[in-house]
């Protein structure tokens, strides 16, 4: 399935059903559209909500009123704590987040989709803060080609599209996993997508009893796994010290895929890796093709995103929400609700 891009849309005039009252012939953007309440990190383990001015949208950009944004417990936790290693675009203050779902409220060049609900994987639109990745705000400005129109029965679940595309991108780069390390949201999506593609259910390692629930595949503690013939091991644990252990469970010429993110330098002992001719692959950022593929799996019913969002918080309580997302293992995915934040801008 090809995800419909903004420019490819033939008939997207659902403005009245969306309840958007803006007229297509209104004056260009007024100042009230150029500010947002946003999550701001300073790298000191705090998340504050701050009013930020937005950059003036260009004719090919969309102004989106965000309904929900997701909290990432991987890269976003590193940004929150200040532990993120040097990375392009880094610097504080910054607005985090790469998972936003909301309604298009203005666009000079794409008036036909005003009122449509879209997914946006981030924004870099703030005058006085960096946008890495910039989606956690009540209003964002993004290039039209970065957004994708969605039609989900449970629209809040669309915040998971970035992680699902990340998982698909990792699998598309080689053999599907027969062992996954870590049973958070990304690990679960790797397992679900593996089975949605018709592959055998993978084993999953998890040491936290809170996350040991199964969903059609075995979830086991590493100490009880005696196999040493895995062909493809996908690590999403974020543990940079785990490679030596994984190598012992790999078959000769097997592959280890680093599908998460690491704050410290991953390393391993060379002799065991040499003897097994281990292959190491890093899975990086997803592409639009990966997102299209995920949308196709969801539409066909082969992939479900249900049950992965465990907590939702009003964005005004961001400080509490971020602490829970990062410190409570029962919280698989925390989503911020921006519904009450628009009137306060």
Determine the pLDDT at residue 83.
Answer: 81
Strand ordering across the sheet containing 279-282: 219-220, 203-205, 179-181, 230-235, 250-258, 279-282
Q: How far is CA 240 from the centre of its chain?
A: 21
Q: Can you tell me the distance from the alpha carbon of 37 to that of 235, in angstroms, rounded to the nearest whole number?
A: 35
Determine the pLDDT at residue 90.
Answer: 81
Residue 75 contacts residue 238 (beta carbons within 8 Å): no
Is the domain 6-159+288-296+305-337 a CATH 3.90.180.10 member? yes
Minimal CA–CA distance to 119: which of 182, 173, 90, 162? Answer: 162
Q: Give me the tens of pLDDT residue by residue for the chain, a chain 345 residues long.
A: 444 444 343 333 333 333 333 333 444 445 556 899 999 998 888 899 999 999 999 999 999 999 999 999 888 888 888 888 777 778 889 999 999 999 999 999 899 999 999 999 999 999 999 887 899 999 999 999 999 999 999 999 999 999 999 999 999 999 999 999 999 999 999 999 999 999 999 999 999 999 999 889 999 999 999 999 999 999 999 899 999 999 999 999 999 999 988 888 999 999 999 999 999 999 988 999 999 999 999 999 999 999 999 999 999 999 999 999 999 999 999 999 999 766 555
Determine the pLDDT at residue 11.
Answer: 34
Residue 266 contacts residue 240 (beta carbons within 8 Å): yes
Determine the pLDDT at residue 74.
Answer: 84
Determine the pLDDT at residue 95.
Answer: 95
Determine the pLDDT at residue 318.
Answer: 94
Q: What angle do CA 104, 108, 114 make, to 5 degrees?
A: 25
Tell me which CATH code domain 174-282 carries.
3.40.50.720
Q: Can you tell me the distance from the alpha carbon of 194 to that of 218, in angstroms, rounded to the nearest whole number?
A: 13
Q: Can you tell me the distance from the alpha carbon of 149 to that of 43, in angstroms, rounded to the nearest whole number?
A: 33
Number of neighbours of residue 8 by Cβ within 10 angstroms: 9
Determine the pLDDT at residue 345.
Answer: 59
Question: Are the folds of 6-159+288-296+305-337 and 174-282 the same?
Answer: no
Judge residue 344's burial from the number of C-beta atoms within 10 Å of its C-beta, 0-12 exposed, 13-18 middle, 19 or more buried.
Answer: exposed
The domain spans of the chain are 6-159+288-296+305-337, 174-282
Give 268-276 contacts, CB < 8 A, sequence gap 24+.
Answer: 268/243, 268/244, 269/244, 272/244, 272/247, 272/248, 273/247, 276/247, 276/250, 276/251, 276/252
Place of tokens 């891009």: 5
Determine the pLDDT at residue 32.
Answer: 59
């Amino acid at each position: 399935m090809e995800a419909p891009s903004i420019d490819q849309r033939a008939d997207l005039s659902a403005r009245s059903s969306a309840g958007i009252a803006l007229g297509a012939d209104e004056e260009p953007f007024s100042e009230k559209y150029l500010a947002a309440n946003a999550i701001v990190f300073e790298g000191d383990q705090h998340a504050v909500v701050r009013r930020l001015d937005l950059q003036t949208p260009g004719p090919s950009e969309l102004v989106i009123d965000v309904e929900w944004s997701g909290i990432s417990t991987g890269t976003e936790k590193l940004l929150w704590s200040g532990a993120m290693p040097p990375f392009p675009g880094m610097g504080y203050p910054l607005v985090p987040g790469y998972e936003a779902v909301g309604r298009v409220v203005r666009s000079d060049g794409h008036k036909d989709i005003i009122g449509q609900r879209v997914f946006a994987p981030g924004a870099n639109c703030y005058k006085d803060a960096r946008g890495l990745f910039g989606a956690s705000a009540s209003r964002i400005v993004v290039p039209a080609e970065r957004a994708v129109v969605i039609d989900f029965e449970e629209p809040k679940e669309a915040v998971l599209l970035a992680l699902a595309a990340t998982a698909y991108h990792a699998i598309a780069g080689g053999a599907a996993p027969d062992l996954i390390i870590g049973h958070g949201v990304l690990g679960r999506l790797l397992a679900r997508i593996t089975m949605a593609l018709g592959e055998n259910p993978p084993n999953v390692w998890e040491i936290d009893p809170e996350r040991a629930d199964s969903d059609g595949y075995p979830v086991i503690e590493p100490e009880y796994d005696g196999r040493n013939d895995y062909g493809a091991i996908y690590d999403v644990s974020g543990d940079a010290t785990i490679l030596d252990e994984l190598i012992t469970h790999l078959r000769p010429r097997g592959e280890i895929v680093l599908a998460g993110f690491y704050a410290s330098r991953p390393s391993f002992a060379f002799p065991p890796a040499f003897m097994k001719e281990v292959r190491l692959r890093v899975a990086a950022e997803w592409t639009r093709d990966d997102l299209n593929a995920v949308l196709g799996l969801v539409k066909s019913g082969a992939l479900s995103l249900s049950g992965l969002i465990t907590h939702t918080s009003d964005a005004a309580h961001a400080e509490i929400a971020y602490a829970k997302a990062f410190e409570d293992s029962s919280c698989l995915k925390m989503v911020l609700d921006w519904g009450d934040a628009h009137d306060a801008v």
